[in-house]
Amino acid sequence: MLHRSGLTANAMSHKNLEIERLRAVAVLLTIIVHAPFKQLFSPFLYSSFTGVDLFFVISGFVVSRSLLSTLPEQAGVTPVERLERSKQSIIAFYLRRVFRIAPSAFFYIFLYWVVAIVMKATGSIAIFARPADIFREGIAFAGGIYNYAMVYGGIPTNMSHYYSLSIEEHFYLLAPLLLVLCGRTSYRLAATAIGVGLVLFVARPMTSVSIADLSHTRFDELLYGVIIALLLDKYRHLPVWQFQTIADAEPGRPSAIIDALRNPRVRALLKTLVGIGFCALLALLPGVLNTDILGGGPGQFYFSSAAFCGYALVSVALVILASLERGWILNIPGLTGVLEYIGARSYSIYLGHVLLILVYNDVYFRHYEQLPDFLKLTRAGYALQFVLFLAVVLALAETTYRLIEKPCIGLGKRVITSFMEARA
């Protein structure tokens, strides 16, 4: 089959390792904002929830590239024709999303429920030690309304981080229709821009509750990822990204900066510093705006639409740089492998880390008097606990990744292949 994007089957299966590193950055920022070890860090990092903003832009980019690569080249003239000819691609897309998201998500809901039963049986009075509440949250997630039920008080919030999965689920329902019905890249870009405008200038101003957790107020970041995916083949090979373009701009005028940049190591270092700078900006931006923590009176500007636009802008810059695959994102020897490992398991890490935090908070303080002094509330104790916590998070994520996530993705590929062959 020919593909509209011009991507081959090898390109479809290609993994962008710089995107994997960004996933690692996103999940580590999320852990920092949730983990009970904030005393180890600057107060500027206490609000680093922008990992989710980065996740959203990455998701919009990755799933759009994946879907675009499978659409037939001759999609049809009318919307009805395009839907008919792209039907198999749309169904395959939904199947990939189900096998990618659902197994691990529901496994962790089940694990939450089991842990709640155990904690309740051992005498815990923690809020999450209520199996019936976990059951309610699981049903709300299965029904596709978790984030709205959470925001409007319909369910408890033990698994509040599942709100982002709900937002992505809602986006995945709409994205194939947007990309297929619009047909041409220019129409897709126009429709996506209209969607962003509706979020920024209609949905957010008309929403009386927090805009942070609702699908219709957060779709803009996913749509930015779609725009990057649509434009990638146009901007990726522009001369502006090539050093020779800069070097040849004024050939008659010597420049110490240009001479220094002729060294590949200097260029690599400069790219790495730019990537680090954007990652640091994304981590620090909400923290420096959080006057509740830093002093200066109560305020919620860091949760405002303007603030979220800033978080999105930095996330977009990072995903654009990563999409180029030219070494802009943390291309640091010895660190790249670690980040790519974490990035590949970021979904399991994201799902499991909050459960471990809840268990830690309950068990630690229930048995605090029996703990050795080096594990108590000291800076050294926090550091040791944080290292142990990260080790347990990674161990749980690795187990889930190997036993549930990868096998289910593989099963999904086989189901999709069988489906496509049966329809051929």
Position with higher pLDDT, 100 vs 423: 100
Pick from 345, 356, 360, 338: which is nearest to 403 by CA? 345
- State the number of CA atoms in the 13 A half-sphere of 274 facing the CB: 16
| 11, 69 contact by CB (below 8 A) | yes
Question: What is the per-residue pLDDT for 138?
Answer: 96
Q: pLDDT digits over 293-326, tens only?
A: 656 555 678 888 999 999 999 999 999 999 999 8
Whether the pTM exceeds 0.75: the reply is: yes
Q: pLDDT digits over 93-145, tens only?
A: 999 999 999 999 999 999 999 999 999 998 888 888 999 999 999 999 999 99
- State the number of CA atoms in the 13 A half-sphere of 352 facing the CB: 22
Position 368: which residue type?
A: Y
Compute the Cα dihedral for 244, 245, 249, 255 and give only its sign. negative
The torsion angles phi and psi of 231, rounded to 5 degrees, stand at -95, -10
Residue in this structure with the two tokens 């429920």, named with its chain if needed? 113
Task: For residue 4, give the DSSP letter.
Answer: T
Quote the percentage of the chain above a pLDDT of 90: 60
Q: pLDDT digits over 363-403, tens only?
A: 888 877 777 777 777 777 778 888 899 999 999 999 999 99
Residue in this structure with the two tokens 């990755």, named with its chain if needed? 62
d(CA 231, CA 239): 15
Q: What is the CA radius of gyration of the chain?
A: 23
Position with higher pLDDT, 385 vs 244: 385
Residue 249: pLDDT band (50, 70, 90) is low
Q: pLDDT digits over 55-97, tens only?
A: 999 999 999 999 998 888 777 778 888 888 888 889 999 999 9
Supply the mean pLDDT for the chain: 87
